[in-house]
A and B are shown apart, each in its own frame.
Chain A
Amino acid sequence: MKKQDIIKSFKDSLLTGLIALALFGPIVGLRTASKGEGLFITPQWGIVFLLVGLCILGRFLININSARRTEFKIFSTLSSKFSSITEDKAKHFAITGILFAVVFPFLPFTDRYFMDVAIMILTYIMLGWGLNIVVGLAGLLDLGYVAFYAVGAYSYALIATTFGWSFWICLPLAGLFAAFFGILLGFPVLRLRGDYLAIVTLGFGEIIRIILINWYEVTNGPDGITGIPRPSFFGLPFKRSPDEGEMSFHTFFGLEYSTMHRIIFLYYLILVLALITNYFTLKIRKLPVGRAWEALREDEIACKSLGVNPTNTKLTAFAIGAMFGGFAGSFFATRQAFISPESFTFIESAIIVAIVVLGGMGSQTGVVLASIFLIGITEIFRDLEQYRMIAFGGAMVLIMVFKPKGILANRKPTILMHGDKK
């Protein structure tokens, strides 16, 4: 490398440092704090200089690196290798993945914490798969998916606490309710396209949340609903001491009582629900309606001229996607035994959309990888509570910048006219 290059990149880094100073100076450097009456400023210049220094150094290294033109080569070859491996072995990957998921609760290192994280990841996988029908297959950007999740959770909670019906009756009912809301939202927005649809669905999600907060008589407002019944194992509750004349899970099977039983059961429950969603999606892709979704995503006008009814097709996508969201919501309610509107904020919708897009739109395996990756990141940063969301958002930006089509960019149509052209 020439000397001029180094001087140039050095100047460039200094400029970066100047901008970094402007960025971090006021916000990080001058921390406002309340003291008695009014606000006062506590300077924190140390951190600012550290950050600015890091920016200068980072920029300088990148500059030198890019002068050698190897900057992201390693990264891109790695990632393309990775995606080609997973593409080829998608089927193997899926089978190993499912097998691993089945034996996971009995692995020696699996403890309560791992199980909780796994259940959370599976919930997001299920939501991702549900939303994939709407976003990935039908190509309708839905930024208010959490609304259906909330409708499912609340209808489950309300039915279960009011009528005392069992989980297995409430679950389909909650799914139906959510599907109904999907259709309700679908009707007015079908004529909208692209970003208009996005903002209307976002608004719908917010409307549902605000209603949940304010409709005190039914939803108990911000306090939420407590005491939601836990699911039972085909009628056998997971209780330490069952009521008189009633069997509990551990007494029936003659096991030592353990809270892990319920957690393992919940784990399998969400695993089965998620796999049903996946199976359903894979099957419906091959049915006329699934084909119509994908065709509609690619070209709406061509679809219309071929006699596909866009209204009904979009409505089914909305309804089915919403239904799976509702199932996931019921599961969430029964797992937590407590729900409040706080669990259904926009950020949840954003996370689910991010999972679908980061995974590679329409790719089922991609959803799994993206869920594991994103939820994993927040778990790794768990100890640094404040920084975990920064890491989360940063990961979203980075994945998009380096792999704009998602981790697994799989948008191959399920059917081709003249066979596979490759």
Chain B
Amino acid sequence: MEYFLQQLVNGITLGSIYGLIAIGYTMVYGIIGMINFAHGDIFMIGAFVALISFIIFGLTGVALPIILLLVLLIAMLFTACYGWTVEKLAYKPLRGSFRLAPLISALGMSIVLQNYVQVSQGARVKPMQPLFSGGLEFFKNSEFIVTVSYLQIFIVVLTIILMGIFTYLITKTDLGRAQRACEQDRTMTALLGINVDRTISITFIIGSSLASVAGMMFVLYYGVIDFYIGFLAGIKAFTAAVLGGIGSLPGAMLGGLLIGLIETFWAGYVSLEYKDVAAFSVLIVVLIFFPTGFLGKPDIEKV
């Protein structure tokens, strides 16, 4: 029981990170119908920006909460620049062309970003000293002590706050309305006087910012990053988005949480080596029964 609770806590933490990345996939898919393969690498860049700023602020000796806030903002800002540029360079010229073209362009962009970071930052893994220590301990008198570290609390709380802001943004503001309109019908939205290009750009900016927050959490949580982390985290987050129903925002959060939990429980109870297999196997099984994911809109084919 205690072991189960511990795994639950770990799974929710991991799921928060995946969920934040998955939102970027699902938003882009919803609005322009493409798999943004470079999104995982945007996440990786976010992690690097966060790492670099942690090192810089680590030297100044400012208090921890201020450092965290500053790093968060810096990572979001710089990573959003990457998301914006990638969209302008590689996807915008391809809007309206056939379906696979942006996908290949995204694959190319992903290769470019990965190797660009490898060249400029080096191929070695980058370790970082933990900033957080300690945590809350439960079930102290049983055999297995359940630990919820402050870092885990920070990650989950931050995710909940961001998801709250984000949901507000999408459901209540003009920007969100424009975005949902673009999802439904881009031509009609343009006719109604909404700047579609700008809306799409903002989608990329929001998606990249959220991914960069996930990157920052990843740096803090694992303490080690390299230029390759974007790939696995990216495809798992995409799996999460598909599992929840791609194009659906609550679906992305749910999917992220599920993938995080599945992975942790599989690693804890079945086998550590095959934890990555678990996520994909579950995806295949789920898609057999729910071909559009859990919360996806049913796919209506028009003749």
Residues of A at the B interface (CB closer than 8 Å) are 19, 22-23, 25-28, 30-34, 38-41, 135, 141, 188-189, 191-196, 198-200, 202-204, 206-207, 210-211, 213-214, 300-302, 346-347, 350, 353-354, 357-358, 361, 386-387, 389-390, 392-397, 400-401, 404-405
Which of B93, B111, B122 is in CB contact (< 8 Å) with A33? B122
Q: Is the CB of B115 within 8 A of A389?
A: yes
Known: A204-B280, A204-B284, A397-B108. Is A387-B119 also a contact (CB below 8 A)?
Answer: yes
If A302-B303, A354-B107 are given as contacts, then 15 extra A-B residue pairs at C-beta distance below 8 Å, sorted by A number, are A19-B85, A23-B81, A41-B52, A141-B103, A189-B287, A191-B291, A196-B246, A207-B281, A210-B273, A214-B274, A350-B107, A386-B119, A393-B108, A393-B112, A401-B89
Main secondary structure of the interface of B (DSSP, over half): helix
Which of B51, B53, B111, B126 is in CB contact (< 8 Å) with A396? B111
Known: A26-B78, A27-B121. Is A203-B239 also a contact (CB below 8 A)?
Answer: yes
- Between A and B, 19 residue pairs with Cβ closer than 8 Å are A25-B78, A27-B121, A31-B121, A33-B122, A38-B129, A191-B291, A192-B287, A199-B235, A199-B283, A346-B231, A387-B119, A389-B114, A390-B116, A390-B119, A393-B109, A394-B108, A394-B112, A400-B101, A405-B97
Q: Is the CB of A358 within 8 A of B122?
A: no
Q: Is the CB of B276 within 8 A of A193?
A: no
**Chain B 124-150 interface residues, beta-carbon cutoff 8 Å to A:** 124, 126-129
Kindly state the separation between the CA atoms of A389 and B111 in the bound complex, as whole angstroms. Answer: 7
**1/0 contact string of B206-228 vs chain A (CB within 8 Å):** 00000000000000000000000
Residues of B at the A interface (CB closer than 8 Å) are 29, 35, 45, 48-49, 51-53, 55-56, 77-78, 81-82, 84-85, 89-90, 93-94, 97-105, 107-122, 124, 126-129, 231, 235, 238-239, 242, 246, 273-274, 276-277, 279-281, 283-285, 287-288, 291-292, 299, 301, 303
Q: Is the CB of A199 within 8 A of B49?
A: no
Contact partners of B118 in chain A: CB under 8 A = 386
Which of B101, B273, B303 is in CB contact (< 8 Å) with A404? B101
Q: Is the CB of B283 within 8 A of A396?
A: no
Q: Is the CB of B246 within 8 A of A195?
A: yes
* Highest count of chain A CB atoms <10 Å: which of B103, B108, B276: B108
Contact partners of A200 in chain B: CB under 8 A = 283-284, 287
Chain A nearest CB, measured from B65 CB (Å): 22
Q: Is the CB of A400 within 8 A of B105?
A: yes
Chain B nearest CB, measured from A9 CB (Å): 17
Kindly state the separation between the CA atoms of A195 and B246 in the bound complex, as whole angstroms. Answer: 10
Contact partners of A390 in chain B: CB under 8 A = 111-112, 115-116, 119
Which of B82, B128, B235, B303 is in CB contact (< 8 Å) with A202? B235
* Highest count of chain B CB atoms <10 Å: which of A30, A347, A387: A30
Main secondary structure of the interface of A (DSSP, over half): helix
Q: Is the CB of B105 within 8 A of A397?
A: yes
Q: Is the CB of A357 within 8 A of B101?
A: yes
Chain A nearest CB, measured from B70 CB (Å): 13
Q: Is the CB of A193 within 8 A of B120?
A: no
Contact partners of B113 in chain A: CB under 8 A = 393
Kindly state the separation between the CA atoms of A204 and B291 in the bound complex, as whole angstroms. Answer: 17
Which of A27, A210, A301 is in CB contact (< 8 Å) with B303? A301
Which of A361, A386, A401 is in CB contact (< 8 Å) with B100? A361
Q: Is the CB of A405 within 8 A of B105?
A: no
10 nearest interchain CB pairs?
A396-B108, A393-B111, A203-B280, A393-B112, A404-B97, A400-B105, A397-B108, A404-B101, A389-B115, A214-B273
Contact partners of B128 in chain A: CB under 8 A = 38-39
Chain B nearest CB, measured from A79 CB (Å): 15
Q: Is the CB of A198 within 8 A of B35?
A: yes
Q: Is the CB of A31 within 8 A of B122?
A: yes
Kindly state the separation between the CA atoms of A347 and B228 in the bound complex, as whole angstroms. Answer: 12
Contact partners of B56 in chain A: CB under 8 A = 30, 41
Q: Is the CB of A34 within 8 A of B127?
A: yes
Kindly state the separation between the CA atoms of A302 and B97 in the bound complex, as whole angstroms. Answer: 23
Q: Is the CB of B235 within 8 A of A206?
A: yes
Q: Is the CB of A301 within 8 A of B301?
A: yes
Q: Is the CB of A199 within 8 A of B116?
A: no
Chain A nearest CB, measured from B153 CB (Å): 25
Which of B53, B85, B108, B301 is in CB contact (< 8 Å) with A400? B108
Kindly state the separation between the CA atoms of A374 and B77 in the bound complex, as whole angstroms. Answer: 34
Chain A nearest CB, measured from B155 CB (Å): 22
Kindly state the separation between the CA atoms of A36 and B115 in the bound complex, as whole angstroms. Answer: 26
Kindly state the separation between the CA atoms of A159 and B100 in the bound complex, as whole angstroms. Answer: 38
Contact partners of A358 in chain B: CB under 8 A = 104
Q: Nearest CB to that of A190 among chain B residues? A: B288
Q: Is the CB of A401 within 8 A of B94?
A: yes
Contact partners of B129 in chain A: CB under 8 A = 38
Kindly state the separation between the CA atoms of A400 and B108 in the bound complex, as whole angstroms. Answer: 9
Contact partners of A199 in chain B: CB under 8 A = 35, 235, 238-239, 242, 283
Q: Nearest CB to that of B33 among chain A residues? A: A195
Contact partners of A189 in chain B: CB under 8 A = 284, 287
Chain B nearest CB, measured from A168 CB (Å): 34
Q: Is the CB of B277 within 8 A of A31?
A: no
Contact partners of A210 in chain B: CB under 8 A = 273-274, 276-277
Kindly state the separation between the CA atoms of A33 and B126 in the bound complex, as whole angstroms. Answer: 8
* Highest count of chain A CB atoms <10 Å: which of B81, B100, B117: B100
Q: Is the CB of B246 within 8 A of A354?
A: no
Known: A386-B115, A397-B90. Is A196-B242 also a contact (CB below 8 A)?
Answer: yes
Known: A32-B55, A301-B301, A386-B119. Is A353-B277 also a contact (CB below 8 A)?
Answer: no
Q: Is the CB of B111 within 8 A of A32?
A: no
Kindly state the separation between the CA atoms of A23 and B117 in the bound complex, as whole angstroms. Answer: 11
Q: Is the CB of A206 within 8 A of B280?
A: yes
Contact partners of A196 in chain B: CB under 8 A = 242, 246, 287, 291-292
Known: A214-B274, A387-B119, A405-B97. Is A26-B52 also a contact (CB below 8 A)?
Answer: yes
